[in-house]
Amino acid sequence: MMQGMTRPGPWTALETGPDAAATASAQPADFAALLRRNGLYPGFPAHSAHPAGAAGAGGIPETQATTILAFKFAGGVLMAGDRRATAGHTVVFDRADKVIEIDRHSLMAIAGVPATAWEMARVLEHSFQFYRRTQLQEMSLDGKVRALSKLLRDNLSFVMQGVGVVVPLFATHDTVAGTPRLYFYDAMGAQFEAADYAVSGSGSPAVRSILYYANTWGGRPLRELDRRDALVIALRALDTAAETDTATGGVDRRGSVYPVVKIVNGEGISTLPDEELAEIFRTEVR
Amino acid sequence: MTEEPYRWVEAISNRREYIQNQLAGGSPIVALRYRDGLLFLTLSRERQKLFEIYDRIAMGAIGHPGDIERLRMAAIEVASTEGFTRSAQDVSLRRLAAFSLSPALKAAFEQLYGPPYLARMLFAELGRESDGDLFVRIDFDGSLHASGGPHMRSFEAYGVLAGTAAQTQAMERQLASGSHAAADLKDALQTALDVWTIGFLTREEGEPPGPEARAAARAEQLREAVIEAVVLERGAPQAAAYRVLRPEELAGIA
């Protein structure tokens, strides 16, 4: 090979020779496989098995993030999360963004370890784009839902060692059927489709009860609520979670730090502006 | 046989001639800057020829479909890996072309016992500001033609790709003679289609075809082929600026 040394970077698709060609075409649309082939797949070095708890492997306090909720309403799916990240009893960060845009019609909310969760979100975002660019078509909805499941499953060995547990929610718009779809997962990667609402994180028991109550006896089911009423319930639920759960952040009105709330529907994703959240907090929550 | 230097040069020259003949019939591709971003246009019969590579990079190619696929896949892999491990801002057409594609193409072309890539590509990158736009043509032997000289700073607001050098020159002359950077999408489409026709009609050096000849040729071609056009939009709401134009946006362009 005359010019072999001048070829930099991960370059599997252009390597000549039958072996390289076989590797490159084995999983042509799988971005995670591409990362793995190049030794770039995210993971954490685990030195010793360690029981799950406030401290992760090696006794390093693990940063965690906490209450997220999502439910279907008249205008699509609303997804919201508080802003606090904690490690043991310490508040690490009060501006964490736990509701993440994955593509034009997909949202992921994260509870658990942000280091793993944000990396999962990045892999997921790139996977969908990589699929679209290489295969010249969008990945199907089922394919997207399954992709997150697979990432969680890949992370299982770390979870068993007490690091990097993530329990996400996934909301998307079914562009074929024209309906909103909502999924929740467990840490092993099982996926469940939610009929009306889904919650996750340490503050979620309270939120789950509130959403159950509102959906059943609240006068109107969540599905029929307009944007403002949906927002009021979401913010009240997060406020309730913050009241009892130390790992869930409330509203810092002095610093103007409000929960992150996003809506996904047929038109795409919209992020609710702080002014709107501030107004509802002032009039409806406190 | 190729141990002797002269024989090697002769073999390379035969190979070049063979590939150039194979590429000569390709439908031209026109890329130009317009008011809202960059526009790519070509006429295609059966295969797609314009592709998304990354958030702000698009590609058009002529040649063998198998080779175009491998190069396209490689470009997407390199860009996506860089975008994932560093950030989307670190993905640059200059580096993709000069450090990844060009050396690989040259190596394949000059290894006489391996197959060369039968493909010629035109890449465009949408800059953060309009003076950062870049058009790069990469040939089967790895040679690069960037629209902006040695440092790939874009001085020309266009890039073209065609089967022969005469076609390329005729199209570039036409684009250099007018200004289209402020044109809206409809005017830019019309300009691009006109330049495409000039490329299509040019067979050898000489006077460019007149407006009537161009209109007649275009009408004839549009009966059998369709306009394929994509844009990299500067004001796109999401990070990916690439968008395939809808049929209604192409209506009335002829």
Summarize pLDDT for A243-264 with one digit per residue, the tens. 888 888 888 777 788 999 999 9
Cα–Cα distance, B187 to A42 (Å, whole number): 47
Domains with residue ranges and CATH for chain B: 27-249 (3.60.20.10)
Question: For residue A172, is it within any domain?
Answer: yes
pLDDT of residue B1: 56
Bigger pLDDT: A7 or A275? A275
Task: Give the mean pLDDT of A57-68.
Answer: 70
Which residues make Cβ contacts (< 8 Å) with residue A214, sequence separation at least 6? Answer: A222, A233
Cβ pair A107, A171 in contact under 8 A: yes
Q: Terminus-to-terminus CA distance in chain A, angstroms?
A: 72
pLDDT of residue B228: 96
Q: Quick one: which of B10, B28, B27, B39 has its CA closest to B135?
A: B39
pLDDT of residue A11: 47
pLDDT tens per residue, range A66-114:
899 999 999 999 999 999 888 888 888 888 899 999 999 999 999 988 8
Which residues make Cβ contacts (< 8 Å) with residue B80, sequence separation at least 6? Answer: A31, A34, A126, A129, A130, A133, B54
Cβ pair A30, B140 in contact under 8 A: no
Provide the pLDDT confidence category of residue A163 given band limits of 50, 70 and 90: confident
Residue A46 predicted with pLDDT over 70:
no
Give B91's contacts in chain A (Cβ within 8 Å): none
Residue A3 predicted with pLDDT over 80:
no
Cα–Cα distance, B218 to B42 (Å, whole number): 12
Question: For residue A12, is it within any domain?
Answer: no
Average pLDDT, chain B: 91
Question: For residue A31, is it within any domain?
Answer: no
Parent domain of A227: 62-285
pLDDT of residue A7: 39
Residue A21 predicted with pLDDT over 50:
no
Tell me A201's DSSP state: S
Please name the residue of chain A whose CA is at the shortest distance from the CA of residue B108: A16
Provide the pLDDT confidence category of residue A14 given band limits of 50, 70 and 90: low
pLDDT tens per residue, range A213-223:
999 999 999 99
pTM of the model: 0.86
Provide the pLDDT confidence category of residue A60 given band limits of 50, 70 and 90: low
Q: Quick one: which of A104, A102, A173, A101 has its CA closest to A141?
A: A173
Cα–Cα distance, A169 to A167 (Å, whole number): 7
Cα–Cα distance, B75 to B60 (Å, whole number): 12
Question: For residue A34, is it within any domain?
Answer: no
Q: The domain that contains A236 carries what CATH number? A: 3.60.20.10
Residue A50 predicted with pLDDT over 80:
no
Q: How many domains does chain A have?
A: 1
Percentage, residues of chain A above pLDDT 90: 57
Cα–Cα distance, B159 to B168 (Å, whole number): 9
Interface test with A, best of B55, B72, B81, B242 (most A CBs within 10 A): B81
Dig out the tokens for A19 from the structure.
Answer: 């072996």
Percentage, residues of chain B above pLDDT 90: 70
Give A134's contacts in chain B (Cβ within 8 Å): 72-73, 76
User: CA of B52: how far to CAs of A51, A131, B75, B145, B242, in Å?
Assistant: 46, 11, 10, 20, 6
Residue B152 predicted with pLDDT over 70:
no
CB contact under 8 A, A2 and B54: no
Question: For residue A108, is it within any domain?
Answer: yes
Give B83's contacts in chain A (Cβ within 8 Å): 126
Is A66 one of the annotated active-site residues of the chain?
A: yes
* Chain B contact for A1 (CB, 8 A cutoff): yes
pLDDT tens per residue, range B92-136:
999 999 999 999 999 999 998 899 999 999 999 999 877 789 999
pLDDT tens per residue, range A136-158:
999 999 999 999 999 999 888 88
Question: For residue A227, is it within any domain?
Answer: yes
Among the listed residues A63, A66, A86, A240, the single catalytic one is A66
Question: For residue A171, is it within any domain?
Answer: yes
Question: For residue A229, is it within any domain?
Answer: yes
Cα–Cα distance, B126 to B88 (Å, whole number): 13
Cβ pair B56, A129 in contact under 8 A: no
**Which of B100, B114, B237 is nearest residue A11 as measured by Cβ atoms?**
B100
Residue A52 predicted with pLDDT over 70:
no
A:127-166 residues touching chain B, CB 8 A cutoff:
129-130, 132-134, 136
User: CA of A22: how far to CAs of A19, A26, A38, A187, B21, in Å?
Assistant: 5, 6, 15, 34, 30
